[in-house]
Amino acid sequence: MLSTKTSEKRAAAVHKGSNTPDNVTIRPQRMGFEFDVRVPRYWVDNNYLISHTMNALSVLFPEGEQFFVDSVRAFRSQIQDPRLKDEVRGFIGQEAMHSLEHIAMNRHVRDQGMPVEAMEKDLKVLLDVVRLLPKRHQLAVTCALEHITAMMADMLLERDDVREDMDESMRPLWVWHAIEETEHKAVAFDVFQQAGGTYAERVVYQLVSTGVLGVVATWFTGRMMLNDRGNFSVRAAATGMWRMWGINGSFSSLIPAWLEYFKPGFHPWDKDNSDLIARFKEEIQQYIAPEYQNGNRRTLQ
């Protein structure tokens, strides 16, 4: 439970606009990751199911993050708080960089024989349907999905075992992505609050968004497994399912954090994990491609 002092600070912050801690800066960074023959086909713990699941999640990012950007940008002119305005610029830039880096990964997955382009087209059709919703409802969808990505990011940065299961050729992409998702985890939420978003809107769309995401991610994973059925292993699939959904599994362990979203006074920074940003940000600098060491060549604003 939040203390009275924390509650008062939160209330003041909501009025002001931004709730991001003062020690967190939201700035985009192009990394220039490359994926080649050094990347194992099953790059998460040499496991067939988990690797295809993570590949499927990567396919969701470019189209999904463009939707996030569009939904936040729709309310940009209504934001009065200068700090929140600056954070929105950072959010848009970071999501643009995430899309570019995951496009590179997705091309690698496509070159392994996976139907990436077909899945991207199907995802775009689905998101175009979501774009028929009122603008604030689209923003509520973004808040819901941003909470899920923030939970996954926090789990990845907190759990050494999850990171160590990733091959070193893929790990930097996901750690970098997790850092930036943590940095901007409250931006869409703060914009939603400023736009007059209601508790009912955000919880209903969390339920709907979670269900749809689960169906789409499972569908995409299944399509990849079908294309790779020659390497199917019941043992690998069972092991992977347990690692993801068993006791303390990488996904099952997120359920308590997911439920936090349904508290009436919830805010993404109720859990201040900015220490994880500081811990990993310096480490990830070594993976920036030389051409991006002194800044980005491309940013969406």
pLDDT score for 272 = 96
Residue type, 47: N
Question: Do the beta carbons of residue 87 and residue 19 sit within 8 Å?
Answer: no
Region of poorest pLDDT, from 19-23, 196-200, 297-301: 297-301
- Tens digit of each residue's pLDDT (9 = 90 or more) over 1-49: 444 444 444 444 444 588 999 999 999 999 999 999 889 999 999 999 9
- pLDDT of 300 over the 90 cut: no
pLDDT score for 296 = 56
Percentage of residues of the chain with pLDDT beyond 90: 88
Domain locations in the chain as residue ranges: 43-288
Task: Pick left, alpha or beta for residue 32 (phi over 0 → left; psi -120 to 50 → alpha; otherwise beta).
Answer: left
The pTM of this model reads 0.91
- Tens digit of each residue's pLDDT (9 = 90 or more) over 171-190: 999 999 999 999 999 999 99
Q: Phi and psi for 135 in degrees, rounded to 5?
A: -55, -40
pLDDT score for 15 = 47
- What band does 293 get if pLDDT is binned at 50, 70 and 90? confident
Question: Which two tokens mark 135?
Answer: 């603008």
- Tens digit of each residue's pLDDT (9 = 90 or more) over 240-264: 999 999 999 999 999 999 999 999 9
User: With helix as H, strand as E and coil as C, how does 64-126 read?
Assistant: HHHHHHHHHHCCHHHCCCHHHHHHHHHHHHHHHHHHHHHHHHHHHHHHCCCCHHHHHHHHHHH
